[in-house]
Amino acid sequence: MRVIIRRQVVKRCPYRDELDAGELTVTVDGEAPELHALGAQVDAIVSEPVSHEDFTRSVAALLPPGSRVVTTWRTGPWSVEVREGDAVLRHPVVPVNP
């Protein structure tokens, strides 16, 4: 069984006085974590300013080994995707203009 869960996330940027809106996607092979408890833990992570990378890494640390976390963000003119877990190894980054 594979479970994929998603939620919207709003966090404060640690570099500028602005909000970053994004989506958190968690993939777990096996039973999903208890969603209310995981939601409370995610809310605690965003209670202080946090970078995209640190947020993604912190969520991954809450999950069973082998879980994958992907976050996507709109920051200024940029779209940002951060991956943590074995999805990093499955989906190599390919340069746009090699």
| Residue 48: per-residue pLDDT | 96
Q: Is residue 79 part of a domain?
A: no
Q: Is residue 84 part of a domain?
A: no
Q: Is residue 53 part of a domain?
A: yes
Q: Is residue 81 part of a domain?
A: no
pLDDT over 90, % of the chain? 78
Mean pLDDT value across residues 21-39: 95
Mean pLDDT value across residues 89-94: 54
Q: Please give the span between the terminal C-alpha atoms of the chain, in angstroms, as a whole number.
A: 38
Average pLDDT of the chain to the nearest whole number: 89
Q: Is residue 32 part of a domain?
A: yes
Q: Is residue 85 part of a domain?
A: no
Give the pLDDT confidence of 42-87 residue by residue, as tens digits. 999 999 999 999 999 999 999 998 899 999 999 888 899 999 986 5
Helix, strand, coil shares of the chain as percentages rounded to 5? Answer: 25, 40, 35
- Distance of CA 3 to CAs 39, 63, 76, Å? 16, 12, 32
Model confidence band, residue 93 (pLDDT cutoffs 50, 70, 90)? low
Range of the domain at 43: 2-70
Residue 95 CA to residue 98 CA, distance in Å, equals 5
Query: How many independent structural domains does the chain possess?
Result: 1
Q: Is residue 33 part of a domain?
A: yes
